[in-house]
Structure 1
């Protein structure tokens, strides 16, 4: 059933992507956008696509804080205005939004989406319409491997994260590792990267699992993993399903260490999985206690505005808009061609989540990957 659903989803994505990108290309939209924005004055329009209602997790708050700070002085003599749309983590909704953004020649750039399964096809729509895209959350390698010219990912990709987590597993002397993953763009990419990294370090992947029927089925699987000498499990899943799997795993009687990718980096991990989450190690890209002036100021201002400590996605929203403002100022223009070139030339720009430079594909380079471990129902930072 899952395989059939995956095939249907893939077919739908292919159909919609071909259809929408064809529409975007019609009429020379990149050239029209350049002409329009070359003469435009007034607000600088930036589209934002995100699952605000269901999976915001501080992202909008980070954006709003950055917007307040930027518009105190303005950029290029103007203020930035955000056009926010909720994509509901849906491919169909995401592509509908992407097409609407693509058809607006007054739009300068786009920030979004959260899920790789949405961002990967949407990025093609933006690129064909001449729109630079800043992707602050989607980690699938396919986003930047398609040869698109205007995509800039501000979070390490699955290859970087998977390799880092494999290195951590090796440092803990884990030898036989099982992988549980979500069968989508994010889960497959992260699972593959971890498995490749583990193999290169001499570890063995004893099994890969993307689904189980019920707790009895998982008990059977757990018993098999015990017989195979499983000494750790890597989870390439997002919340809340990742937490549910960890809780079920403990109920099934398997008490080996669990490590996971950035999809588990949520305060809800301990809240959902309870005591079962204790000891789980996950990847992140933001440490609010980092000894850095940019981080300290961001955390201070965020707490003053919202009364709570910011998380990873608040930092990503903040950095995405601040980076865009920096590049606009550096380009001296809101024209996408000049903005794109300024982003490509960005080197060691300091954001709340670390330094930002981009390689030739648009992937961020040299951003630190931080390890966090659940202890006492909350995260402790390991590095």
Structure 2
């Protein structure tokens, strides 16, 4: 044990709140808050696993039922009246301009008579609608820029249009696997943006790999996704980077030698982050970690803080000489189901102890805790105030009426990568695009294998939200993490905002 750890006062404790609470998300809005050749394909899809069919839609049904006009547009589409569907979707967007589902369906209908290529996006629409919208905004932005062109994209319209199918996996592993089977069964789907959580991505990854269908997750960070196969990729950094970054901040910046780690043992993401954090935190033989489990059941926050404060070396075999030293930190490495418990601990802390965390705490719910959350330091993959993010952030504000979060940015990057890979294959093989027997609306060329190969080429890159999108052989992306903190501000409407920890000159 170091003398610095021995002399630390009991109440100089850090509350390290983690990446694990994947979900939540922070959408700062300052305003209102087709799988066919001619028309959208019906959403009734066979489930190879048995049971209810997964919900897929390209405009013929609504997965986020928040607009009467959007529902009426779906009915018009089912009735074979695309003109009416387009008019109703435009009306819906006038009332709710930040609705990405409506924009995707509108662009699908507008592209119905053009040469098309299809990708899908898997989101947790049924039970995490806010997260679903965050992801869909990124895909909708990429589709709109590609199909229609706007001030963010110069040059003529492309020779082909992008059609997007939305799939609801309900953030459930079994449903995610059924969604993957349904998408893999349709050869027109050339790539998938998704899934949201590490658990659902791991459940679906084997299906995509066997089908050779590229899957690019914008938000699954578990280390175990790395190297699963050449069809499994992601635009978000893995837990290895996040865990190491959090541990380095705890040891080097906050000078902590003891932390209590809360995690969900049933979550692949939580387990992954815990492993990476603990390994880095204890690498020099000085850091000590107390592990505490939490799940979806409500936690006694006061008791949890008390346990952390009374933490001593008796539970750590290699450093058993300590008898009564208080914990210097709490690390909450849960998942989406444990978000309420993590927030309860932060609230019970009442700002007495400093807080560190990761991308999932980038949440409006955290900001609503007010002064209790002030000073929290987070590690995330993207922030709108980064100099390299400013152009994208401004474009998103113009379209959506407010700032977007890292999940939207990473979903945009994933869609951009698929668009670029598809276009490269089409432009490199123009003679095949109009080959005899190929209907202009059928996405038969390029093939999935060609798109997958393009994504893995050494010279491949796509324009991203803050940096070019490139993939390693493992499917991972090298993207620096960003340190931010909670400070007083007026962007979120809570009195507190997420700001860069070191904004620079």
TM over 0.5: yes
Distance 1:247 1:276 in 2: 10
The equivalent of 2:271 in structure 1 is 188
Q: 1:156 aligns with which of 237, 243, 247?
A: 237
Instruction: Judge conservation of contact 1:347–1:357 (CA < 8 Å) in 2.
Output: yes
The equivalent of 2:125 in structure 1 is 52
Work out whether 1:319 is the aligned partner of 2:405: no
| Higher RCO (C-alpha under 8 Å, 6+ residues apart) | 2
Distance 1:236 1:216 in 2: 18
The equivalent of 2:308 in structure 1 is 222
Distance 1:142 1:238 in 2: 16
The equivalent of 1:127 in structure 2 is 209
The equivalent of 1:381 in structure 2 is 500
Question: After superposition, where does 1:264-283 map in structure 2 within 5 Å?
Answer: 264-271=361-368, 273-283=369-379
The equivalent of 1:16 in structure 2 is none
For residues 348 and 324 of structure 1, do their structure 2 counterparts lie closer, same or farther at Cα, with a shift above 3 Å needed? closer
SS in 1 for 2:221: coil
Point out where structure 1 has 5 or more consecutive residues left out of the alignment.
1-18, 21-40
Work out whether 1:171 is the aligned partner of 2:252: yes
The equivalent of 1:338 in structure 2 is 450
For residues 169 and 57 of structure 1, do their structure 2 counterparts lie closer, same or farther at Cα, with a shift above 3 Å needed? farther
Distance 1:192 1:57 in 2: 31
The equivalent of 2:472 in structure 1 is 359
Instruction: Judge conservation of contact 2:347–2:373 (CA < 8 Å) in 1.
Output: no
SS in 2 for 1:69: helix
Q: Relative to total residues, which structure has the larger helix share, 1 or 2?
A: 1
Instruction: Judge conservation of contact 1:239–1:264 (CA < 8 Å) in 2.
Output: no
Distance 2:305 2:327 in 1: 14
Equivalenced residue count is 340
Instruction: Judge conservation of contact 1:218–1:252 (CA < 8 Å) in 2.
Output: no
SS in 2 for 1:138: coil
Which range moves more in the overlay, 213-222 or 305-314?
213-222
Distance 1:347 1:231 in 2: 45
SS in 2 for 1:282: strand
Work out whether 1:251 is the aligned partner of 2:348: yes
State the shift of 1:62 in Å: 1.8
For residues 88 and 134 of structure 1, do their structure 2 counterparts lie closer, same or farther at Cα, with a shift above 3 Å needed? same
SS in 2 for 1:47: strand
Cα distance per residue 1:257-282 (max 9 Å; x no partner) = 221222212232222x4432222211
State the shift of 1:199 in Å: 1.4
Point out where structure 2 has 5 or more consecutive residues left out of the alignment.
1-47, 50-113, 150-155, 313-323, 427-444, 489-495
**Aligned residues: CA RMSD:** 2.5
State the shift of 1:82 in Å: 0.6
SS in 2 for 1:357: coil
Distance 2:216 2:499 in 1: 29
State the shift of 1:244 in Å: 3.6
SS in 1 for 2:310: helix
Distance 1:349 1:61 in 2: 18
The equivalent of 1:88 in structure 2 is 170
Instruction: Judge conservation of contact 1:131–1:336 (CA < 8 Å) in 2.
Output: yes
For residues 264 and 353 of structure 1, do their structure 2 counterparts lie closer, same or farther at Cα, with a shift above 3 Å needed? farther
Distance 2:205 2:157 in 1: 25
Work out whether 1:69 is the aligned partner of 2:142: no
Which range moves more in the overlay, 64-73 or 208-217?
208-217
The equivalent of 2:318 in structure 1 is none
Task: Provide TM-score, normalisation by structure 1.
Answer: 0.81
Structure with bigger gyration radius: 2
SS in 2 for 1:364: coil
State the shift of 1:69 in Å: 0.4
State the shift of 1:76 in Å: 7.0
For residues 342 and 75 of structure 1, do their structure 2 counterparts lie closer, same or farther at Cα, with a shift above 3 Å needed? farther
The equivalent of 2:382 in structure 1 is 286
SS in 2 for 1:279: coil
Distance 2:378 2:460 in 1: 28
State the shift of 1:194 in Å: 0.6
SS in 2 for 1:358: coil
Instruction: Judge conservation of contact 1:50–1:88 (CA < 8 Å) in 2.
Output: yes
